[in-house]
Structures are given as structure tokens and as C-alpha cells.
Amino acid sequence: MYKCKFSKRINGEITVPGDKSITHRGIMLGSLAEGKTELKGFLNGADCMSTLSCFEKMGIEHKISGDIITVEGKGLHGLSSPSVTLDTGNSGTTTRLISGILSGQSFSSRLSGDASLNSRPMKRVIEPLSLMGANIVSENGNGCAPLLINPADLKPIHYNSPVASAQVKSAILLAGLYAEGETSVTEPVLSRDHTERMVNGFGGKVVSDNNTATITGLTKLYGQSITIPGDISSAAYFIAAGLLADNGELLINNVNINKTRAGILEVVRMMGGNVSFENKRTVSGEEVSDLLISPSSLKGVTVGKDLMPSLIDEIPVIAVMAAFAEGETVIKDASELRVKESDRIKTITKNLLTLGADIMETEDGMIIRGGKELHGGTIESFDDHRIAMAFSVAGLNIKETVEIDRPDCVNISYPDFYKTLEGLIR
Ligand code: S3P
């Protein structure tokens, strides 16, 4: 149980850990590239370690020294057959992206994760990969992991994805590396584009045109030195904490503000939050800025389809901000939240109700009437890192005791989260 601290003063300067999505992709593309890849500022969280250990089981060596991982790439066809099941832990990104890579290998593999992961939908990658000729099946026939992947010759496809999901898009593009010709994916709304950027950075070829990304297969990738920016999904908790405070000022260094990721900054602007951008720059092909956050009076907003993919992981903390904001916040077109590490529509609603908020669950989101005085209570994390972190921010703003049950799930994406948060309460 974690006992939340109460503080209306948030002050100081922090640097959040490296971006999770970029770390996963750096390990994967580094493994498939020729030669050494250096990832500086990688995320040392459990999800990324799952990716690293899967590639280790396929013969990829790595070295960790301080905040740098060095991966010894073996080329597109250099992976070796794993002698055990590849354990993808709690990580949807590992499972879905690696499925694309494994579909193009000349060996069989089996993927499985924890109970949460093994109940998340994998049909969304099984279907398009099968259209490419992949031999991939759900072991229990329920469209979930464990997945069994057998060797196959892949052919290029054009896929119209029914969901705006970077994991689906990336699985297809990575499989496209193993298909001769052009493989393309069109999404209903553009999702995070780190795979596209990074494949090009490694010497591959992806062309993006609005919501369509097209990869040319069988192009060699070459090892790179990459500096990974801070994860905006991790910065989001501190942005919220700084805005909800009554005094203090918070500088968050080195945050990735790639616009396919930075929807929370747009929402904060609409809510009336004070965030200023300092020292904007481009680092290893990604836009980065330091963010200066000061206390603000927030008002309710409507968040829907167009912004959703760019802030999908930030909905828990946006819901918390909405509970303290004046007026109504409507979150809609967010049914993807039901298939995250927990059913986040349910887990957010349940926990905000515990604290006395006025919130109503809808089929594809929630409606929050903010400004009600909240009280203490015990939050259930449901072992979902983003629920635990979002509700520690709620706890900062509630005088009575707020406790978080099973708080250690923050290790998935932010092992030092509580320590960093407590360092700002002075
Ligand atoms: C991710 C994509 C998103 C996001 C997840 C990371 C990625 O999932 O929620 O945390 O790195 O590609 P979906 O693609 O399923 O929306």
C-alpha cells in the first residue's frame, strides 16, 4: 500500500525517464540492424526489459552501462531460434510488434505474457499478419496470447486498419521488412509514428502520407546511436501535479513533444493550463522541449476521436485533472481504453467514485463533472501502472488519506515515480 502525500506546493526541476515506445523500437530495430546500436537514455522499466530479454533469447547480445544500452545487431536474418517461450510480461507493445518480426523468421516461436497481457486482443495483429501470409495462431483459440508463430513467406499488403493503433501499424510495418515490395497501412486517425521515423533513421524506407505509412521490404538496416527523449506519458503526471498545485513552479526537462504523442498538451491548453515550452529542439529525429508548468485554474473540456490516439495513455491523468477542474469534461471515442493494461474506463470510474467524484461511465468514455470536494479512500491500481500514477496525483490534492493498493506496478514504466514525486513536495 502506498500512502499518498498531500501537497499543494509542487516545485523543482526533474527529468523523466526515456520514452517507452522509442526504447522498445530501438531495441527491436537495433537487433535487426547490421552492427552496434547505442540507445542513450533508454527506459529501464519492466516492459522494455521484456523486449530486451525476448531478443536475448534469440541470440542478441546487449550491454547496459549507466543509461546506455548497446545492442549487437545481427541483421534482418540474424535472429536465432529461441529454445523457450518468449515471455512478453505485461507488455502489449512487445507482444504485438515482435509478432510482426517473428512472422518473417525461418523458425517457430511461442509468445506469452502475464494474465493481463494474455487477456488482451491479439486478433488485431493476427488478422493483418495472416493476410501477409504469416502462420500465427492463438493457442487457446480466443484471439489472445499465447501465440504460436511458424515460418512463412510474407507478401506485401495494403491494410486499412479499423483501429488507430501504433502497435497494429508497427506490427505490419515490421513484418513488411520481410516482404518483397511495398507494405502499407492506413489508419482512421494517425497514431504515434516512432516506427516510421526510426526505420528511416536506421537506413530503411518508410514514406508517410497523411494516415498511410508505406514501407519497402528487404532493405538493410544499419546500427545507430540514438538519444532517447523523456516520455511525455511519464511527464503527464507531473504536468498535472504542477497545474493542480497552488504554488511552486516545475521544470520538466527533455520531453518528447512529437505531435502524434503530445495530445495532452493540447488538452491542457484547452483546459486553461499554464505550460510554456523552453528550448525546443530535435533530437535523434524526435521533437523535444523542456516544459515549464505553473499552477492554473482548470476548466472542463471535450476530448474525442481526433486527439485520442495522441493521448490515449494519458486519459487516466486527464480524468484526474477533470475531477478538480470547473465544469464538465466529456471523454468519448475512447473504447480502446477497455483493452489496455486494465479496462481503464472502469478502473478510472471506480477509483474516482471512491474519492467522491461525480463521474459517469459511458460505453466509449466517461463524463466527469469537476469541482466537487473529494475525500480520502483506497485506490485499487488493478496492477495498472498508469492508474497508480494518475491517482497519486489525485492524492496530492486531497487532505484526507488516499492510499494506493498494489502500487509497485509503476515499475512497468517508471520505477522511480514515487521518489521523484516526493522530491517535488517541499
Ligand atoms: C504504444 C501504442 C499504444 C499505447 C501503448 C504504446 C506503442 O497502444 O497505448 O502504451 O508503443 O506503439 P495501441 O497501439 O494499442 O493504441
Kindly list the domain boundaries of the chain, sorted by start residue.
2-17+229-422, 20-227
What is the predicted pLDDT for the residue at 132?
Answer: 98
Q: How far apart are CA 360 and CA 329, in angstroms?
A: 11
- For ligand 1, atom 10, the nearest C-alpha belongs to 313
Determine the distance separating the centroid of ligand 1 and the alpha carbon of 390, expressed in angstroms.
18
> Can you name the residues that pair with 336 across neighbouring β-strands?
none
What is the predicted pLDDT for the residue at 110?
Answer: 98
- Confirm if 206 and 196 have CB atoms less than 8 A apart: yes
In 217-273 the beta strands, taken as DSSP E runs, fall at 225-227, 250-256
Catalytic site positions: 313
What is the predicted pLDDT for the residue at 46?
Answer: 97
Pocket test for ligand 1, best of 90, 312, 413 (most atoms within 8 A of CB): 312
Cβ-based neighbours of 151, under 8 Å, separated by 6 or more: 105, 106, 107, 108, 135
What is the predicted pLDDT for the residue at 426?
Answer: 72
- For ligand 1, atom 9, the nearest C-alpha belongs to 313
Determine the distance separating the centroid of ligand 1 and the alpha carbon of 53, expressed in angstroms.
20
In 53-68, which positions are buried (b, 16+ CB within 10 angstroms) versus exposed (e)? bbbbbbebebeeeeee
314, three cell numbers: 494519458
Enter the pTM of the model: 0.98
- Confirm if 61 and 53 have CB atoms less than 8 A apart: no
Fold match flag (2-17+229-422 vs 20-227): yes
What is the predicted pLDDT for the residue at 49?
Answer: 98
164, three cell numbers: 488507430
Q: How far apart are CA 286 and CA 327, in angstroms?
A: 35
Residues with CB under 6 A from ligand 1: 21, 24, 92-93, 165-167, 170, 191-192, 312-313, 336
What is the predicted pLDDT for the residue at 97?
Answer: 98
Q: Does domain 2-17+229-422 correspond to CATH entry 3.65.10.10?
A: yes
Pocket test for ligand 1, best of 51, 88, 191, 385 (most atoms within 8 A of CB): 191
CB atoms within 10 A of CB 74: 19
Q: Hunting for cell 510495418 — which residue is that?
A: 173
**Residue count of the chain:** 426
CATH of segment(s) 20-227: 3.65.10.10
Determine the distance separating the centroid of ligand 1 and the alpha carbon of 168, expressed in angstroms.
9
Rounded to 5°, the CA angle 68-69-72 comes to 140
Rounded to 5°, the CA angle 55-81-112 comes to 60
Backbone angles phi, psi at 293, to 5 degrees: -115, 130
Determine the distance separating the centroid of ligand 1 and the alpha carbon of 187, expressed in angstroms.
14
**Residue-wise pLDDT tens digits, 228-250:** 999 999 999 999 999 999 999 99
Q: How far apart are CA 112 and CA 333, in angstroms?
A: 30
What is the predicted pLDDT for the residue at 421?
Answer: 98
What is the predicted pLDDT for the residue at 127?
Answer: 98
Q: How far apart are CA 211 and CA 160, in angstroms?
A: 10
CB atoms within 10 A of CB 249: 16
pLDDT in tens, the chain (426 residues): 999 999 999 999 999 999 999 999 999 999 999 999 999 999 999 999 999 999 999 999 999 999 999 999 999 999 999 999 999 999 999 999 999 999 999 999 999 999 999 999 999 999 999 999 999 999 999 999 999 999 999 999 999 999 999 999 999 999 999 999 999 999 999 999 999 999 999 999 999 999 999 999 999 999 999 999 999 999 999 999 999 999 999 999 999 999 999 999 999 999 999 999 999 999 999 999 999 999 999 999 999 999 999 999 999 999 999 999 999 999 999 999 999 999 999 999 999 999 999 999 999 999 999 999 999 999 999 999 999 999 999 999 999 999 999 999 999 999 999 999 999 997
- For ligand 1, atom 4, the nearest C-alpha belongs to 313
Torsion of CA 101, 102, 103, 104, to 10 degrees: 70
Determine the distance separating the centroid of ligand 1 and the alpha carbon of 173, expressed in angstroms.
15
- For ligand 1, atom 16, the nearest C-alpha belongs to 165
- If DSSP states are collapsed to H, E and C, what string results for 251-267? EEEEEECCCCCCHHHHH
**Residue-wise pLDDT tens digits, 111-125:** 999 999 999 999 999
Give the closest residue to 348 by CA, choosing from 397, 309, 308, 389.
389
Ligand 1 atom with the shortest distance to the CA of 166: 14
